[in-house]
Structure 1
Amino acid sequence: MKKEYFNPEIPSVEFLMHRVKKRLPGFAYDYLVGGCFSEVNLERNISDIRQVQLKPWYLRDFAGASQQTRLFGKVYESPFGVAPVGLQGLMWPRSCEYLARAARDHEVPFVLSTVGTASIETIAEITEGEFWFQLYHPAENELRDKLLERAWSAGCRTLVILADTPTFAYRPKEIRNGLSIPPRMTLRNIIQMCLHPSWSFAQLSAGAPEFKTMKPYIPEGLNMKHLGQFMNKTFSGRLTEDKIAAIRDRWKGNLVIKGIVNPEDAEVAVKLGLDGMIVSNHGGRQLDRGQSTVEPLKALAPEFKGRLKIMMDSGIRSGEDIAAALACGADFTFLGRTPMYGVCAMGEYGGHHVFEMLKRQLQQVMEQLACEKVEDFPKHLV
């Protein structure tokens, strides 16, 4: 029986963020919450999804609400999962492992990033092979094939390829903070760490965060400057039809593309035989003058529903937001920052708290609307 870790003192993302800001050094907090350039799209993601309105039915028979959702042949307990996040261990040590364990316990999908701070094999052990893997496309096909083979051998059957990072983003806060792993020891950063002892002692106990999946391929003895240069040369961010087709030929499981926001790219995904797409703008961290994710979702869902699974991330922070995305046509949703707020605020059990919070929020919305099944949400869109 799953133990409940819900903390009524922090029942919303706003309360979580307040606690996180107190616990994290400024450079780690900035990385977690920040976007690119002036963070216009970061704010637009949040504000636009909050404009979505839902219609309740009060005088109809209502047999109760079920959040269970079938996706790629599996039944998940709720229509949300953990989006891939890089450098989790910088924000809170072992957060990648904590979230994978919580996702497994709550029967929702966990997506591991290539640049996460836990290895494919570790996450496979924690989740008993029930995880997704998000691939940053390597510059060399040999490395691509090694990563795909490791993911498949570990039990992963859903691969996510990333389309929305063709270039490194311009993030002023990260530039100012000298973000690296481990964080650069400037006087400013040292003072921040001293003022946040719980974070510092947790990091000391866990050890410096590393790119664990990539560790076998990184030459030993690199300093941070040379490690950055190595990673820059190792990955080729821009996808092409040829690159996707080559992965489709090799990957026999479900293949999902993340970062689709226009019908032209969605048509390519269908043509190449992909199984799903995630409407995403990388959490507002890549293109500040782009649309919020809920707006392209509204346009893409009517045209591509049924041709492949349509999912969404970026801007989703609560059960209400999950409901809004589903009402706008998403088959499933993912959250990146909100689960991270949980572990940064509460440590090991923060993921459990967040998933329980999201389930309670979504259940209340479904019962208020008289929405019995997740797939009925579009009927309630105003």
Structure 2
Amino acid sequence: MSKMPFLQSRNGRDDKYRGLRSAEEIRFHLDCERTRSLRSGRPFAVIRFRLESNGSFKKNLAQVQRELDARLRIYDHVGLLEDRSLLILLPETDNASAATMATELRDRIGDPAWLGIAEIANAIDEGAESQEMPKDSQQVSMVSISARPLSRWKRIEDVCGALVLLALFSPIMIIAAIAVRLTSGSPVIFRQQRTGRGGKPFTMYKFRTMRNDAEARKAELMALNERDGPAFKLKRDPRVTPLGNFLRSSCIDEMPQLFNVLRGDMSLVGPRPLPCDEQAASAPWHQSRLDVTPGITCIWQAHPDRNVTFDEWMRMDIRYARQTSFFFDVRIMLATVGSILRTVIVDRLLRPARLAKSEPAAE
């Protein structure tokens, strides 16, 4: 049987594994189908096989391709991810049908163990209870499958940038730590669980800018929330200490996240990680922001007007996830520096001076 058109590369070139889409192409189709499924409410299943590398890799892969040629439809897509995982996209397919197909595929090839366990996800089933799957399949979240690995250039950018910034700002960080300790006691570092790439939680670090009972008081202040959506924001939050106001406006409170960058939990540039409860309460289409590693700064943080709606914030993050590049990162970092300087100069220096000048002289 000749190769079907849906297995041909979009650019028409033959590659190492003829007939399979590249990682870039299969992720493009995954993003398109995932968006279409969320808008229409129709099921869209994904099967991922974590292939075992051995001496017969090409031979086994060719056999899988022959089986897929006979089984898949013209609008299905198959490709290899960066780690050589096999990804099969099945529009208009529920998880049960995808599991059946995965089992039949394993039964047809000569070495079923080579395919590994079939991981099955569905865009419209995010957060749903796990369905009963065959013993050779398991249900996973779509965000865990769609998450992109951190590219080599970006990791180099992060490590080099974090080390340089730590060397430059370590005196400021030491002074800030001492100031927090003297003005509001311990702990100096605030730790919070945030949602990272692929929905994986991690511990994010910040200089503590609030009182120790801040988390306990959040519920009573929720009625005063000034931000729409699941995020919480108060311009004049009574839990913030006087020193904390300065640390926040100057972004010094974010400096400990450079250690998150060195650990690989965060990047210098990427969507700001939300607390786990806020991310869980977000709309399904917001989950696309979890495709990439979260960052210290992002488009929203560098934006001249940060008083945007929650949905607009999420759209900025998704835009970044789809357009990540070195020069885009540089633009965002330069814009962030400008935003910080503007905030410090205007809000902390010029505005108080203007207010004092405009006040009537005492009689």
Q: TM-score range by the shorter chain?
A: under 0.3
